[in-house]
């Protein structure tokens, strides 16, 4: 995989470059002390992953990601532990490394990048051959494509940089985000009712106060999402 390193500290760039060198699948294409120069490079060249420092003069890592037209996978590197939750809001950010970085933790990060790229490749291949209206969704589990029927999915829960998909018979943990899977679900049966939950509202058994019951799961409803849920229900008044 081709990568670039973006960090205003030369010593930090050297450490990441050394870690990359020890992994045969990694190729460091270039290094940048300036986020602006890195953006100019990425607007012309393609890489698989960017190792990116969050705190840089005049430009933080999140600004960097939002500026790119077609961002590659991003691994954030920082001494700040407090921004991990914000990082999970970005589909392209696949990992969050806190300095100092160990060799084992870096290797796990590379595995996450490889999985994310494989997932994208599999999804793109499926989407080119399958209509979303076909009533099914394919997920990548340990490099196997598993078909899920929409009407068997009960709910989807966000778990950090993973999501848990609960069906009538099984649960699956997938490296993805609610935002991304929401785009692939039919709106006539799926609805996001909380920042951490999407439900199949045809499977609702009971609604009480600010929660719904689906099978044996009690799912919270956010105040802002409740009116939309009520509009989707066939209420007897």
Which domain does 169 fall in, by range? 133-232
Question: According to the model, what pLDDT value does residue 233 have?
Answer: 78
DSSP-derived pairing of the beta strands 49-53 and 2-6: parallel
The answer to whether residues 120 and 88 belong to one domain is yes
The answer to whether residues 25 and 92 belong to one domain is yes
Question: According to the model, what pLDDT value does residue 120 have?
Answer: 72
Last residue of a domain, one of 70, 93, 124: 124
In a domain, 68, yes or no: yes
In a domain, 27, yes or no: yes
Question: According to the model, what pLDDT value does residue 132 have?
Answer: 45
Question: According to the model, what pLDDT value does residue 130 have?
Answer: 43
Instruction: For residue range 105-159, list pLDDT tens digits in order.
Output: 999 999 999 988 887 765 555 444 444 445 888 888 877 888 899 999 999 999 9
Cα separation, 192 vs 174, in Å, equals 18
Question: According to the model, what pLDDT value does residue 234 have?
Answer: 67
Last residue of a domain, one of 73, 106, 124: 124
The answer to whether residues 86 and 106 belong to one domain is yes
Question: According to the model, what pLDDT value does residue 191 have?
Answer: 93
Question: According to the model, what pLDDT value does residue 138 have?
Answer: 86
In a domain, 237, yes or no: no
Question: According to the model, what pLDDT value does residue 124 have?
Answer: 57
The answer to whether residues 111 and 144 belong to one domain is no
- Partnered with residue 137 across adjacent β-strands are 148
63: CATH = 3.40.50.2300
In a domain, 152, yes or no: yes
Q: Which of 46, 34, 117, 37 is nearest to 75 (CA)?
A: 117
The answer to whether residues 115 and 144 belong to one domain is no
Last residue of a domain, one of 100, 124, 148: 124
The answer to whether residues 106 and 137 belong to one domain is no
203: CATH = 2.40.50.1020
Q: How many domains does the chain have?
A: 2
Cα separation, 158 vs 85, in Å, equals 12
Q: Which of 82, 79, 81 is nearest to 101 (CA)?
A: 79
Do the Cβ atoms of 47 and 68 come closer than 8 Å?
A: no
Residues with Cβ within 8 Å of residue 95, at least 6 apart in sequence: 75, 76, 109, 112, 113, 161
The answer to whether residues 11 and 29 belong to one domain is yes
The answer to whether residues 89 and 141 belong to one domain is no
- Residue the block writes with tokens 């058994």: 205
The answer to whether residues 117 and 191 belong to one domain is no
- Report residues of the chain scoring pLDDT below 50: 126-133
């Amino acid at each position: 995989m081709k990568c670039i390193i973006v960090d205003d500290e030369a010593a930090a760039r050297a450490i990441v470059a050394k870690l990359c060198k020890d992994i045969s699948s990694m190729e460091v294409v270039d290094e940048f002390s300036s986020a602006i120069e890195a953006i100019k490079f990425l607007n012309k060249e393609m890489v698989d992953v960017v190792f990116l420092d969050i705190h840089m003069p005049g430009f933080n890592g999140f600004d960097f990601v939002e500026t790119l037209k077609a961002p590659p996978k991003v691994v954030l590197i920082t001494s700040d532990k407090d921004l991990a939750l914000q990082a999970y809001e970005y589909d392209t950010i696949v990992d969050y490394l806190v300095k100092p970085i160990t060799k084992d933790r870096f290797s796990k990060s590379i595995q996450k990048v490889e999985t994310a790229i494989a997932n994208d490749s599999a999804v793109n291949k499926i989407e080119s051959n399958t209509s979303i209206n076909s009533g099914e969704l394919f997920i990548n589990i340990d490099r196997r494509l598993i078909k899920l029927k929409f009407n068997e999915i009960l709910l989807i829960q966000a778990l950090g940089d993973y999501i848990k998909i609960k069906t009538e018979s099984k649960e699956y943990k997938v490296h993805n985000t609610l935002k991304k899977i929401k785009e692939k679900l039919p709106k006539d049966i799926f609805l996001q009712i909380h920042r951490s939950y999407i439900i199949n509202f045809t499977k609702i058994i009971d609604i009480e106060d600010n929660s719904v019951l689906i099978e044996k799961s009690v799912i919270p409803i956010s105040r802002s999402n409740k009116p939309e849920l009520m509009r989707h229900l066939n209420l007897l008044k």
